[in-house]
Amino acid sequence: MHSLSKYKKQLIAGGIGLLILVSILIKSQEIHIVDKTRSLMRSSTKSYGTRTLDQINKIIVHHSGSIGQRAEDYARYHVLSKGWPGIAYTFVIEKEGTIIQGNFLETISNNTSGQNTSSISICLSGNFTQEEPTLEQLKSLKKLIVYLRKTLPQHLQVAGHRDYGTTSCPGTNLYKHLKQFQLA
């Protein structure tokens, strides 16, 4: 009788351990997006067009090409220097892995010539011709791509900006990671 009681305790302890492990795994897959769609700098006279979500068929990954800048800096540059209505990116992933939403999914922003209506743009902060993306950025990129593929029912291919023009963006050190997101 004593050994049966010990066996039950081991089963219970194992079950509790398994529940804790599953809880940790689920928690690690959760995504947290900081919505800055209304707080980043915008033009007072211009606005981006809109689209329906079924027009989107791809995710295009960019790098900022700069070191030490953040979403607020890109928005300011795009509005003040480029004369655009707002930040060019739908999402920005900062060095520490924070995901910033800069535009609504329905917004057609200036990110990749000829592809703006059909793409969601994700920019990782950094110059990935000179440095490597952080592990936190790559984890957040993966979570964001999984989230977008679950949110939109259509197939979303992942590409780098360079796949649609003459540019080194998103830099060789980020571009090499994009193949893991390709769908068959």
What pLDDT is attached to residue 153?
A: 87
Higher pLDDT, 10 or 79: 79
- Name the band, by pLDDT with cuts 50, 70 and 90, for residue 6: low
Which tops the pLDDT comparison, 182 or 157? 157
Cα 9 versus chain centre, distance: 44
Residue 26 is predicted with a pLDDT of 46
Report residue 113's pLDDT band, with 50, 70 and 90 as the boundaries.
very high
Handedness of CA 21, 26, 28, 34 (dihedral sign): negative
CA distance 102 to 87: 7
Nearest to 112 by CA among 49, 166, 52, 38: 166
Residue 25 has pLDDT above 60, yes or no: no
Mean pLDDT of the chain, nearest integer = 89
What is the 3-state secondary structure of 74-101?
Answer: HHHHHHHCCCCCCCCCCEEECCCCCEEE
For 53-65, write each residue's pLDDT tens digit: 999 999 999 999 9
What SS3 state is found at 45? coil
Reply yes or no on whether the pLDDT at 5 is more than 90: no
Which pTM was predicted?
A: 0.84
